[in-house]
Structures are given as C-alpha cells and as structure tokens.
Amino acid sequence: MARTRCCLGIRLGRNQGEPAWRIGLLHVVACCCLGSIVGCASHGQLARMERAKKFTNELADQTVGAPATLALYSRPVYHQVPAENIEPRRHETTSDVHQLATPRSIESLSDLEALAVTSNPSLRRLRREAAAARARANHVGRLPDPTLGANFFTAPIETAAGSQRANVTLMQTLPSLKRLNAQTQQACLEALALEQIHEIERLKTIGDVRAAWYRRYVLSKQIETALANQRALKLLIDTAISILPLGRGSASDVQMGIVEYSRLEERLLKLKQQLASNRAELNRLAGRRADIPIQVPRQLDVSLPNWSHEMLRQLALENQPAIASARIRAEAAQWGVEVARLNRRPDITFNASWFAIDDNRPASTIVVIGEDAWSVGGHVTIPLWRGKYEAMHREANWKHAAAQASIQEAMQAYDSLVSDLWEQAQAASETARLYRDTIIPEAQRTLQVDQESYADGSVEFDRTIRDFRTVLDLELGYHQARGRLATALARLCQATGVELEVPSTGELAL
C-alpha cells in the first residue's frame, strides 16, 4: 500500500492583511498531510479485513490443480519472462484455513492419488508460496512511491516579496530502469523455480502414496498367508493329538505345535498393527483424519517392464523438475549478476516545490509583492564506494557459480538414483520369480512329504515344524519381493518425472 510521508510544523499563524483564502489553503494542505498519516492505517486495516474475508469465502469453494510443468532450459541464458504470464490464480489465496477432506472410503489407488494431489497440506503450502512469488514478480520492478512533504514555519522567513510561511514539496525517485527490469526477470524466474519445487513435491507425494498402497497390499497378503498357515498348523496339531493313543507321538509334540500357533498369533497382531499404521500414513498423505477407512487392495498387477537404464536416465534429464528447477535458479542467479552490475548506476530524484509568500510588504517596482515561488530540482546518488559494489558483484558471481554446480549435482544424483532403482526392480522381479517357480513349490512338497511321514511315525515333529516355518517365511518373502518391485517402479516414475506405463500380468498365484 502506498504511503505518503510528510513533515509538519505545529503552529499556524496569520499576519495582518493576509488573504483568508491563503490561510485556508494552508490549513487544507495540513489537514491532507495529517489525514494521510492517520487515514492510511485505518484504511489499510479495513482493506486487509475485506481481503481476508474475500479470501476465506473463496477458499470454501476452491478447487486447486497442479501447475503446468515448465519447459526445461538447456543452458542458463538471459530469458525474458513477461510479468503478466505469472499472474496468481484466482483460487490461490493467502488464507491459512485448512479443511480436512470429506470422510469417505478410498476404493482405488487412483482415487487416493487424486485426493492427495488436491488435499495434501505440503502441496497446498507450496502452491501458495508459488502464488506469492508470482505476485512479488508483479511489483518488484515498479517505481517507488512519490513523496509529498509540507513545512510550516513558526517564525516566517522574511523575504523582499513577503513572509514565507510554508512550502510544499513533491519528490519522485527514478532508479535505473534496466536494474528494475533485471530484478523483475530474476523474480519471475524464482517464481517459476518455486513451481518446479511444487512439482517435485507432487511427484514425491504420489510416489509415497503408491509405496504405502503397495505396502498395504503386502501386509494384507502376509495376514492372509499367516491365517492360512495357522489353519494348516491347527490340522498338524490335531494330527499330533490323534496319534498319541497309537504311541507314535508325544505330548511335547503337541506343546511344540501350540507354541508355534501362539507365535503365529503374535505375528498376526504385529501385522494388523502395521496395517492400521499404514492406513494412518495414507490418510496423512491424502490430508484426511487418520481413522478414515481405506480399502485393502486385493491384487497387485505388476511385472518388470522392458526398460533400460539409458532410457530412464534420458527421461530424467529431460523431465525431472528438480533438474529444471536447478537450471532456472542458475538463470535467475545470472540475472542476479546483472542486478549487481547495475547497482552502480545512480538513482535520480526529481522534486517540485511551492513556497507560500504573504502579501505583507509595501508596493515595489523591483519585486512582485506576495507572489508565490516555485522551484524544480533534482538529486542523484553518487556510487563512491567502489569496494562495496565490487563485493556485491563477487557475491552474485559466486551465487551464480554455485547455482551452475547444483545443475550438475542434480543430474548426477538422479542418474545414480535411476540406476539404483532399476537394479532394485530387476532384483525384486528375479527374486519373486525364483520364489514362485522354484523355492516355494519345493518347500511345499517337502512339508507335505514330512507331514505324511510324521503321521506314519517316520519323521520327528520338530522337523515338520521347521518345514512349516520355512514355507511361511518363503511365502511372506514372495509377497515382499512383489511389493518391492511395485515400489521400485513407482519410485522410477517419480525420479524420471514421467508417468511410465507399467505392464500388467494379473495376480500371480503360488
């Protein structure tokens, strides 16, 4: 909000014979200056209250979408960004009011992702920070406000034309227009970089949602497997009890089976607790209360796609918003170097003054009695301190060099991340295949043979229990490997910044 500064004296007098209109004019000027001081605060407060009320009303109906992805820059250059292209969206406000999403059960992963993108608190905060940066870019290059000053003399200055009782001065400072333009360009690029930060957080939120969803699937399968094995163990305990009268078993076998059954109960309790914690985490990502129910996924259609590290690396370099943000910040830092160079240019201030002269002198042929005086002047800043400006220029150059280094750092980081995730996906896929095709079938056959042999009395009960534990651990490991594969593929989509198509093979039964 524009503010007017004024300097006022206290006492206003009137000389004999002074026109009443002049005194009235001086009183009007004084009242205007005083009113500008007192009224700015009250008017500004009312305006802020009105804007806050408007923003709160808009927030009730707000529907926020993700900002468009910014095109990448191949190298930092002076890039002209029109300020009108970064106007804040109407639905983006500065209100801190946050309403939790309407409670409803989530039926699919896509529903959860859509809810997280619109309701996640971190994304809402970053959207508003980006809107604030866009708003800043629209005012940072404006001229400073003019200054109105008024002086009233308690003891008038006596001149040949009359007594000078007051003067009014209007001043306007004109900074270097090229510097203002450079500051605007820098602010625009910083706003665009913040939009990329929002895009980074959006991809991370979606990746976290998918990882938690796949974890929920793994937990449900582990619970399902534990219950199935619990039923099988119950049959084994019944077998141990039934052969006791035949003299082919012992009471210790039954006790061992009961202990193993209790261990399964303990594992089930832990898995159910982890499932509840997983629900709370998913609701947190979706911006909802932790106790809102979420459906348990029944199947996980995923298989290793025909990708390659080189393809994923190229996609990340072209589409990853973290790399784009680093490039934009490097370009903004280059504009900062230009701003530092232009800081040497002086600021010019123009002023115009009016001096009120009283008509209180005898008539004269030399001067015009009572004629008001006018003056026009100017001021200019003198950039004398060379060391200060050189230090500012060095600071901007080092910031630009650091921003350039951050581009290479981001590229190497995502190259390494993509390689690691791709290796994780391949290892998880191969592990799941080995479990499904070789290890688990062999372990199940061993358990079946030992169960039959135990009924005949040719195998000890503890060996059957060991086989049972082995099958249970292998089945749990199979589901964990499938979950790791799905999570690694989701993180690859996050790392590349592209929604890659993952082939579906249906649920793979054991």
**Rounded Cα gap, residues 461 and 258, in angstroms:** 12
**pLDDT at residue 26 in the model:** 54
CA quadruple 220, 222, 225, 227: dihedral, nearest 10: -70
Per-residue pLDDT reduced to its tens digit, 366-400: 888 888 889 999 999 999 888 999 999 999 999 99
According to the model, what pLDDT value does residue 394 have?
Answer: 95
Report residues of the chain scoring pLDDT below 50. Answer: 1-17, 37-46, 48-49, 52-53, 55-102, 508-510
Instruction: Compute the distance between CA of residue 125 and CA of residue 96 in angstroms, rounded to an integer.
Output: 9
The tokens for 27 are: 């009183």
pLDDT of 103? 53
Report yes or no: 417 and 488 within 8 Å, Cβ to Cβ: no
Distance CA 333, CA 398 (A): 9
Token digits of residue 324:
């784009």
> For residues 283-319, b (16+ Cβ closer than 10 Å) or e, as one string?
bbbbbbeeebebebbeebebbbeebeeeebbebbbeb
Q: Counting runs of H as helices and runs of E as strands, what totals does the chain give?
A: 10, 4
Q: What is the pLDDT of residues 132-167, one digit of tens each?
A: 999 999 999 999 999 999 998 888 888 888 888 899
DSSP 509: -
- Looking at residue 4, its pLDDT comes to 37
Alpha helices in 286-385 (DSSP H): 309-319, 321-342
Find the farthest-apart pair of alpha carbons in the chain and give their distance in angstroms, rounded.
Answer: 146
pLDDT at 338: 94
Domains and CATH numbers, the chain: 62-142+175-297+332-345+383-407 (1.20.1600.10)
Task: For 236-264, write each residue's pLDDT tens digit.
Answer: 888 778 877 776 667 787 888 888 889 88
Note the pLDDT of residue 97: 39
Contact residues for 210 (Cβ-Cβ < 8 A; gap 6+): 109, 113, 486, 487, 490
pLDDT of residue 12: 42
Residue 375: helix, strand or coil by DSSP?
strand
Given the structure tokens 């082995």, which residue do they identify?
470
Tell me, what DSSP letter sits at residue 106? B
Spatial separation of the C-alpha atoms in residues 459 and 424, rounded to whole Å = 40
The pLDDT value recorded for residue 108 is 85
- How many other CB atoms sit within 10 Å of the CB of residue 499? 10
